[in-house]
Amino acid sequence: MLLGTLDTKHAEYAFVQERLTRAGIETVLVDVGVVGEPSARPDITAAEVAAAGGGDLAALRTARDRGAALAVMAEGAAAVARRLHGSGELSGVLALGGSGGSSIAAAAMRAVPIGLPKLLVSTMAAGDVSGYVGTSDVTIMHSVVDLAGLNRLSRTVLENAAGAMAGMAAAYRERSAARGGPSDRPLVAASMFGVTTPAVDTARRRLEDLGYEVLVFHATGSGGRTMESLIAGGHVAGVLDLTTTELADEVVGGVLSAGPERLDAAAGRGVPQVVSFGALDMVNFGPEASVPSRFADRKLLVHNADVTLMRTSASEAARIGDLLGRKLAAATGPVSLRVPRGGFSAVDAEGGPFWDPGADEACVGAALARLDGTPVEVATSGHNINDEDFALAAADELHRLVTGAGDHREDDA
């Protein structure tokens, strides 16, 4: 699907369409322009897109409200993309745009599943593109020059875009035609951070041996949001949420919060989950100079030039634990909370820079207080979260919850 404002960028789209056709790729041309008429008739008109978004193209043009028009066309483009995908007609989505066109195109791209190729050539690619990408797998290519006619530079960029989409679409069709293999294995979502990597790697290998395919998400805010989106979409059989550090950033004000909905998806859908306190001993900031002045007297650890970690205090840890407990208490499916008394991360181990058993206990105590009287199972271990025995026990526990087999193990100490 080629999607864009054909009233202003017809020449660019004609160029890309010709290159795709030359590469053997059939196209569906979708117009989302509201200013004027396209130079050539698209396969799906702007009027059809507007109607799919609950609006009327003539009314949008008369009102001259750009924001309202963009919202309607974005909704309509998303509906068109979902319809084409549902009918099996899509093997990729390619769009070209400035800020407005990019927002419409990105809405359509986010509406189709992860794995379907999505390429957005945008003038906005050199800035913050998080709003366009969301939790999807949108690929963004910088247009370098404005998309205002064809020249030697824009032709090069657009030819590369067409070639990239042709290659991705071919790979997608080949993958879709394949049957069997690892894709038949049940999916497990897992959360990981650098300081919990040994735990998650060990647990991942055990789960793979047990027959699962494990998707690991880096708990950096966007990773947590993406994981929640995947869970909410009903794609996973279980969740190994050992690294809940994004809650610390949400509570204390760090830069890697995944938002207030973190841990809600599995709870709401009843997906089996094994949860722990991974990296709740820290809050994340950027370079050391970026740490807010109110934290000037706190214990800081410069992880690298771009990342500074701050040790959570006992009072902060209690608030974080309370939030974790409230999230798990609301779960509608089986939950096991694993407590690593030997520390929450690689740096929160005896002798480590963030070792603070008192703060850890404040976090654990607050969580357990919220879970008192609930069906949530709690297992306590004397190990650090990265110890092999702790990780293996967590993986085995998730397998038990997913399959409903065997008895719960109270601890792995």
Q: How confident is the model at residue 411 (pLDDT cuts 50, 70, 90)?
A: low
How confident is the model at residue 233, as a pLDDT?
A: 85
What pLDDT does residue 161 have? Answer: 96
- Does 407 have pLDDT greater than 90? no
Mean pLDDT value across residues 24-52: 92
Identify whether the C-beta of residue 279 lies closer than 8 Å to the C-beta of residue 344: yes
Looking up tokens 């130079």 gives 39
What length is written for the chain? 413
Q: Which helix (H) or strand (E) holds 49?
A: helix 46-52
Pick the more confident residue, 394 or 146: 394
| Res. 412 pLDDT band, cuts 50 70 90 | low
For the segment 160-187, the average pLDDT, to the nearest whole number, is 83
Distance CA 104, CA 120 (A): 11
pLDDT digits (tens, 9 = 90+) for 339-397: 999 999 999 999 999 999 999 999 999 999 999 999 999 999 999 999 999 999 999 99
Alpha carbon distance 336, 185 (integer Å):
23
| The pLDDT of residue 180 | 44
> Over the stretch 102-126, which tens digit does the pLDDT of each residue have?
999 999 999 998 889 999 999 999 8
Give the C-alpha separation, 341 to 349, whole Å: 10
Domains present along the chain, CATH in parentheses: 2-177 (3.40.50.12020), 181-403 (3.40.50.12030)
Contact at 8 Å (CB) between 217 and 190? yes
Task: Give 189-218 pLDDT, tens digit per residue.
Answer: 999 999 999 999 999 999 999 999 999 999
Band (244; pLDDT cuts 50, 70, 90):
very high
User: Given pLDDT bands bounded at 50, 70 and 90, which one contains residue 127?
Assistant: confident
pLDDT above 70 for 409: no
For residue 175, what pLDDT is reported?
A: 84
pLDDT of residue 40: 78
Res. 320: pLDDT tops 50: yes
Q: Mean pLDDT lowest for which of 19-28, 176-185, 387-396?
A: 176-185
pLDDT for 182 equals 47
Distances in Å between the alpha carbon of 368 and those of 199, 323, 328, 364, 374? 22, 11, 10, 6, 10
Q: For the beta carbon of residue 66, count every other beta carbon within 10 angstroms.
A: 12
- Amino acid letter, 311: R
Measured distance CA(34)–CA(48) in Å, rounded? 12
DSSP, res 333: S
Q: How far is CA 380 from the centre of its chain?
A: 30
Rounded Cα distance, 224 and 193, in Å: 11
CA 191 to chain CA centroid, Å, is 11
| Cα–Cα distance for residue pair 136/248, rounded to 1 Å | 24
User: How many other C-beta atoms are found inside a 10 Å radius of the C-beta of residue 12?
Assistant: 24
Structure tokens at 351: 């002798």
3-state secondary structure of 112: coil
Distance CA 167, CA 182 (A): 23
Average pLDDT, the chain: 93
Number of Cβ within a 10 Å radius of residue 310: 22
Backbone phi and psi for residue 230, each to the nearest 5 degrees, phi listed first: -65, -40
Complete DSSP assignment for 64-76: T-HHHHHHHHHHH
Q: Report the DSSP pairing between strands 93-97 and 118-122.
A: parallel
Q: Looking at residue 57, what is its pLDDT?
A: 94
> Is the model's pLDDT at 406 over the cut of 60?
no
